[in-house]
Amino acid sequence: KLASREFHPANTVVDVDGVKIGDGNVVVMAGPCAVESREQLLEAAKIVKAGGAQFLRGGAYKPRTSPYSFQGLENKGLEYLAEAREVTGLKVVTEVTEVEAVDAVAHYADILQIGARNMQNFRLLKEVGRCNKPVMLKRGLCATIDEWLNAAEYIMNEGNHNVILCERGIRTYETYTRNTLDMSAVAAVKHLSHLPIIVDPSHGTGKWRMVKPMSFAAIAAGADGLIIEVHPNPAKALSDGPQSLTPENYREVMRGVYKISDFM
């Protein structure tokens, strides 16, 4: 299999216009859950840049559990992301939720995100497999590691080998946290596959207080990077406020991330 270490023993390094993922350095992607407005995104991007992250995250297409929740700004959101990249120099990672939007998202984004809810949307996987941008593939809510690696296989089989895996927590009987962040998946994926793997402690726990310890744990476990939700004012966020870091908390997490990655 294309994603397996047996097939390809050396670690894959995904080069996103000069920013390398999987080369031994920890990359950080940070930003709001959703692009809410031009002002919100530009403010978030400046905070993210100043804290040291290399990527700005933010959903323009949002896969919401309820149809009555904020659904995202779609194309307008993509334009704001491109403007924020222009202003800060950050690379942009954003989700694509439907086949019809792949071209538009690939036009604006540096990395296309496939969200947990679409991990087994095979038509979508094949479509991003045919585009020329790296893909960040989140683990499905109830997906085994084998199912997740097979989803990567769908993308790679179409010719796109620039796949980054993202552990974002799985559903278990535990309800205290939003999901159960499977840190052992990092070690398992490192053994089974040559693809880089990053960790999302925000969706993985659902609680901003747990983002710092789980970020540190992810780096210690060997993750190639982190994707973290940061909002200028989490109390006013249109989605995922409870798991979003304030600017101050984000700076504190980043200070620790630098220290721990120096040890690794």
Three-state DSSP state, 203: helix
Site for ligand PEP in 63-102 (CB under 6 A): 63, 95
d(CA 114, CA 171): 18
Q: Does 47 bind Mn ion (CB under 5 A)?
A: no
1 CB-contact burial (10 Å; exposed 0-12 / middle 13-18 / buried 19+): middle
User: Closest residue (Cβ) to ligand PEP?
Assistant: 115
Residue 178 in tokens: 């939003």
Interface with ligand PEP (CB under 6 A), residue from 138, 161, 178, 231: 138
151 binds, among ligand PEP, Mn ion, none (CB under 5 to 8 A by kind): none
Is 33 or 152 the residue whose CB approaches Mn ion more closely? Answer: 33
Q: Is 193 helix (H, G, I), strand (E, B) or coil?
A: strand
190 contacts ligand PEP (rule: CB under 6 A): no
> Which one of ligand PEP, Mn ion, none is in contact with 137 (Cβ closer than 5 to 8 A by kind)?
none
DSSP state of 136: E
- Which residues, in sequence order, are CB contacts of 23 under 8 Å at separation 6+? 11, 13
The piece of 27-35, 65-73, 121-129, 169-177 that touches Mn ion (CB under 5 A) is 27-35
DSSP state letter for 168: -
Distance CA 36, CA 82 (A): 14
Residue type (1 letter), 27: V
Among Mn ion, ligand PEP, none, what does residue 168 contact (CB within 5–8 Å per kind)?
Answer: ligand PEP
Nearest-angstrom CA–CA distance, 90 and 204: 24
Using rule CB under 5 A, residue 240 touches Mn ion: yes
Binding segment (CB under 6 A) for ligand PEP, from list 2-10, 112-120, 186-194, 255-263: 112-120
Based on the shown chain and the rule CB under 6 A, indicate whether residue 203 belongs to the binding site for ligand PEP.
yes
If one asks whether residue 231 binds ligand PEP (CB under 6 A), the answer comes out as no
User: Which H/E stretch holds residue 252?
Assistant: helix 247-263
Contacts of ligand PEP in 13-42 (CB under 6 A): 33
How far is Cα 218 from Cα 199, in angstroms, rounded to an integer? 6
Q: Of 24 and 184, which has the nearer Cβ to ligand PEP? A: 184
Q: Which residues bind ligand PEP (CB under 6 A)?
A: 33, 59, 63, 95, 115-117, 138, 168, 200, 203
Binding site for Mn ion (CB under 5 A): 33, 240
